[in-house]
Structure 1
C-alpha cells in the first residue's frame, strides 16, 4: 500500500512539473510575441499606408483595388509559403457629389443639417426631395401611424443607441434595424424619403453611413435614405415638437452600378505537422468612403497580417496551416466572407479555428468565442497566460461577420474584443481616420491575437475530453 501511495505521489508530482514547465515555456513565447509587436511591429506602418496613401476603400472602387495590390505585395515580402488573390464579385455603389440638407421652419427661414447617404440608397430627384417630416422611434411605430399620416412625408427614425448598455455593440444592435430596413418599411406607407439618426453614442456633427436594403421593393417604389448627425437629430426632434408642419429638404447623387470583380487577399504558412488543419486570422479590407477606414477595419487587416509576421520573426513554425484572409466587401454585402467559405467547402478544407478583428484598434480586452463547452473550457484554461497583459474578457459568443460562414459543428470562432466605448464615435463616419488610432493599442491587439493563435496551434482541441488543459489552475 505504501508503495502504491508513493507511486501516485510520483505520478502527480510529474504531472505538476510538466504543467509548470509548459506554463513557463508558453509564458516566454507569449512574452516574445508581445515584445516583437511593441518594439519592432509593422502594423502601424501598414495602417499608415492604407489610411493615408490609399484612403477609404469602398467595395468596387479604385482605392479598394489599390489596397488589394498593396497588401498582397506586403504579404509577399514576409516570405510566406503562399500568397494569392481569390476573385469575388462585389456590389459597386458611388456617393457622387456631397449631400446637402436643410430644415425650413418658415418661407426663407432655413437651417442646414449634416446628412450622408446610406450605402445602397438611390439618389433623390435631381432637384432634391422636400416634404414634411414625421418622427418615429422605430419600425414598429409605422403601423401605429398608418399610411394616412405617413404618405408624402419624410420618415425620421430617431431611436438612439442606449447609453446605459456597457456593451456598446448591444446598443448598436438595438437600433440598427431602422438604418438597414427603414426605407424598405417606410416605402410601404407611401413615404418619399427616410432620415435616420446616426448610430453614435455621443453628440456631434458627424453623420454615420452604413448599409441599407430595399428588400424586394420594386425599383420604382424605392425612396432615398440618409443618416443625420446626432446633434442635428436632436435639433430636428426638438423643433418638430414646436412646429409639426416644418419641411426638410435633402439632395443626394448616389448611384448603384453593376457588380464588379474584386478579391480576397490570402497568405499562408503551411503547417509543419498537420497541414490539412487550417487556422484563419482576418479582417475586412473594404471600408466606407467618408473617412479612411482606420478603425473599421484597417486595424483588423494590419493586425491579422502582423500575426503571421510575428511568427516568422520569433521563429515559430505553426503545426497547423495558418492563413491570413483579408476579406473584401464586409460592409455592404459580405461577398468576400461567403466566397471564402464557399471555396473552402468545395475543396473539403478542414478549418479548425478562425479569429477575426473587426471592432477597432483600441486596447484589447479579450475575446468573444463560439465553441462547445469543452472547447471553451480549454480556452479558459489559458486565461492566466494573458493576465500580465490585462486581457481578462473571455466570453461565450463571438467571431465576426466574415468568418461566420465557416461555422460548422467543429470549428472554433473567435473575435478580438477591444475596449468598445469610443468605437461608435468613429464607426462609418468621416472622422474614422488614422490619427484616431493609438500605435500602442494597435500593437497590443496584434500581439493578443497572435498569442491566442499560438496556443490553439500548440494544444489544439483534439483529445479535449481526456485532458481539458495542462494549464488549468
Structure 2
C-alpha cells in the first residue's frame, strides 16, 4: 500500500513538474511574441498602405480589387507555403453623388441635416422626396400608429444605443434592427422613406452607414433609407416636438448593380505534424465607403496577416496548418465567409479552430469563445499567461461573422475583444480613418492573437 502511494506521489510530482516547465516555456514564448510585435511589427505599416494608398473598399469596387491584389502580394512576400485567391460573387452597390437633406420649418426656411444612404437602399426620385415626418422609437411603434398615421410620410427611427450598457456591442445589437429592417416594415404601412438614427454613442455630425434589407418587397414597394447623425437626430426630434408639421427633404442617388466577381485572399503555413488540421485567422478586407475602413476592418486584416508573419519571424513551425483568410463582403452580404465555409465543407477539410478580429484596432482585452465547456475550461487555464499583458477577458459567447459559417461540433471559434468604448464612434462612418488607430494598440492586438493561436496549436483542441 505504501509503495502504491509512493508511486502515485511520484507520478503527480512528475506531472506537476512538466506542467510547470510548460508554463515557463509558454510564458517566455509569449514574451517573445509581444517583443517582436512591438519592436519589429509590420501591422501598422500595412494598415497605412491599405488605408491611405487604397482607401475605402466597398464590395464590388475598384478599391476592393486593388486591396485583393495588394494583400496577395504582401502575403507572398512573407514567405508562406501557399497563397491563393478564392473566387466569390459579391453584390455591387454605389452611393453616387453625395446625399443631401434638410429640415423645413416653413416655406423657404430650412436647416441642413447630415445623412448618408444605407447600403442597399434604392435612390430617391430625381430632386428627392419631401414629406412630413413621424418619429418612432422602434419597429413595434409602427403597428401602434397604423397606416393612417404613416402613409405618405417619412418614418424617423430615433431609438439610441443604450448608454448604460458597458458592452457597447450589446447596445448596438439592441437598436440595429431599426436600421436593417426599418425600411421594409415602414413600407408596409405606406411610408415613402425612412431616416434612422446612427448607431453611435457619441454626439457628432457623422452619419453612420450600414446594411439594410427590403425582405420580400418588390422593386415597386421599396423606399429610400438613410442614416442621420446623432446630432442631426436630436435636432430633428426637438424640432418635431416644437412643430409636428415640419417637413424633411432627402435626395439620394445610390444604385444597385449586378453581382460581380471578387476574391477571398488566403495564405497558409503547412503544419509539421497535423497538416490536415486547419486553424484560421481572419478579418474582412471590404469596408464601407465613407472613411477608409481602418478600424472596420483594416485593423483585423493586418493583425491576421501579422500572426503568420510573426511565426515566420520568430521561427515557430506550427504543428497544424495555419491559414490567414481575408474575407470579402462581410459588410453587405457575408459572401466571402459563406464561400470559404462551403468550399471547406466540399473538400472535407478538418477545421479545428478559427479566430476573427473585427472589433477595431483598440487595446485588446481578451477573447470570446464559441465552443464546448470542455474547450473553454482549457482556455481558462491559459489566462494567467495573458495577465501580464492586461488581457483578462475570457468569456463564452460569439466569435465573428465571417468564421460563423464554419461552426460545427468540435471546432473552437474565437473573437478578439478589444476595448469597445470608442468603436462605435467610428463604425461605418467618415471618421473611420488611419489617424484614429493607435500603432501600439494595433500591435498589442496582433501579439495577443498570435499568442492564442500558438497555445491552441501547441496543445490542440479538446
Measure how far apart 1:3 and its partner are.
3.2
Q: 1:304: which partner in 2?
A: 304
Q: 2:183: which partner in 1?
A: 183
Q: Tell me if the contact between 1:206 and 1:430 (Cα under 8 Å) persists in the aligned partners.
A: yes
Q: 1:470: which partner in 2?
A: none
Instruction: State the distance in 1 between where 2:404 and 2:194 align.
Output: 31
Q: 1:18: which partner in 2?
A: 18
Show structure 1 runs of 5+ residues with no match.
465-473
Q: 2:158: which partner in 1?
A: 158
Q: 3-state SS of the aligned residue for 2:231?
A: helix
C-alpha offsets along residues 250-301 of structure 1, whole Å, 9 cap, x if unaligned?
1000000000000000000000000000000000000000000000000000
Q: 3-state SS of the aligned residue for 1:52?
A: helix
Q: 2:394: which partner in 1?
A: 394
Q: 3-state SS of the aligned residue for 1:75?
A: helix
Q: Tell me if the contact between 1:367 and 1:398 (Cα under 8 Å) persists in the aligned partners.
A: no
Q: Does 1:121 align with 2:121?
A: yes
Q: 2:367: which partner in 1?
A: 367
Q: 3-state SS of the aligned residue for 1:221?
A: coil
Instruction: State the distance in 2 between where 1:248 and 1:4 align.
Output: 85
Q: 1:469: which partner in 2?
A: none
C-alpha offsets along residues 61-109 of structure 1, whole Å, 9 cap, x if unaligned?
0000000000100000011000000000000000000000000001111
Q: 3-state SS of the aligned residue for 2:305?
A: helix
Q: Does 1:90 align with 2:105?
A: no
Instruction: State the distance in 2 between where 1:27 and 1:131 align.
Output: 64
Instruction: State the distance in 2 between where 1:202 and 1:78 align.
Output: 39
Matches for 1:73-472 after TM superposition, within 5 Å: 73-461=73-461, 464=462
- Structure 1 runs of 4+ with >6 Å offset: none
Between the two proteins, the alignment pairs up a number of residues equal to 462
RMSD: 0.6
Q: 3-state SS of the aligned residue for 1:66?
A: helix
Instruction: State the distance in 2 between where 1:3 and 1:351 align.
Output: 46
Measure how far apart 1:14 and its partner are.
1.0
TM-score normalized by the length of structure 2: 0.99
Measure how far apart 1:8 and its partner are.
2.6
Instruction: State the distance in 2 between where 1:191 and 1:8 align.
Output: 76
Instruction: State the distance in 2 between where 1:108 and 1:120 align.
Output: 32
Q: 1:60: which partner in 2?
A: 60
Measure how far apart 1:319 and its partner are.
0.3
Show structure 2 runs of 5+ residues with no match.
none
